[in-house]
Amino acid sequence: MSDNVLLTTTVGSFGKPDYLTKARGQVARGKLGATELEELERKATAEWIRRQEDIGLDVLVDGEMYRGDMVAYFAERLEGFKIGGLVRSYGNRYYHKPVIAGKISRPKPMTVSWFEYAQSLTSKPVKGMLTGPYTLLDWSYNEAYPTRRDAVLALAGHVSRKRVGRRQRASASSATPGLWRAPGVRPSSPRRPRCTSRHTRRRCAS
């Protein structure tokens, strides 16, 4: 671990190598099995871990080699979702937009095994990569919940909170999505507003 005050890391999603992109196409056409695809995803993950170590990053990521899409990956593993038709996200990129068609629940962990695999490849800390509830909702159609608020709270309760808890138990360094905290370093508390007027004193004291 670097002794620098500012630790270096990345957003977390890296480009997939040509062999993995080709393999995903073969899976879609029924010419390659899920086991063979996972072997290539693990190979690509290991390559990205080594590359991050080579350039001296402090906090590493798995690169999301096992995700074809940041939203569809989770929608395929959550109860209550179904996969819809193709829509354009930007440029010439299309994806199958998920549909929230029923009550959301998570039957089993979705990313913990990949986190554990990535961490096993390095002695440096690896941070977990979580797609947030707002993004999951905005990239999906909601046909099950009466309001956006209801849908977001359902996603936050059954996806984000439980996934973070699972990663904690898998020896994740931090329970905050997308944030790594050095061992022994206490997070700074948000500063309370200064009570500089009669109008604000009551709020500051509450």
In angstroms, rounded to a whole number, what is the distance separating the alpha carbons of residues 72 and 78?
10
For the chain, the structural domain boundaries read 18-185
In angstroms, rounded to a whole number, what is the distance separating the alpha carbons of residues 115 and 64?
10
Q: How many CB atoms lie within 10 A of CB 49?
A: 23
pTM tops 0.85, yes or no: no
Q: What's the one-letter identity of residue 132?
A: G
18-185 architecture in CATH? Alpha-Beta Barrel (3.20)
Residue-wise DSSP of 73-119: HHHTTSEEEEEEEEEEEETTEEEEEEEEEEEEE-SS-SSHHHHHHHH
In angstroms, rounded to a whole number, what is the distance separating the alpha carbons of residues 1 and 4?
9
- Measuring CA to CA, how many Å separate 203 from each of 162, 189, 190, 191, 200? 33, 18, 16, 14, 5
Q: What is the pLDDT along the chain (206 residues), one digit of tens a residue?
A: 556 679 999 988 999 999 999 999 999 999 999 999 999 999 999 999 999 999 999 999 999 999 988 899 999 999 999 999 888 877 777 888 999 999 999 988 888 999 999 999 999 999 988 889 999 999 999 999 999 999 999 999 877 655 554 555 555 443 334 443 333 333 333 333 344 444 333 333 33
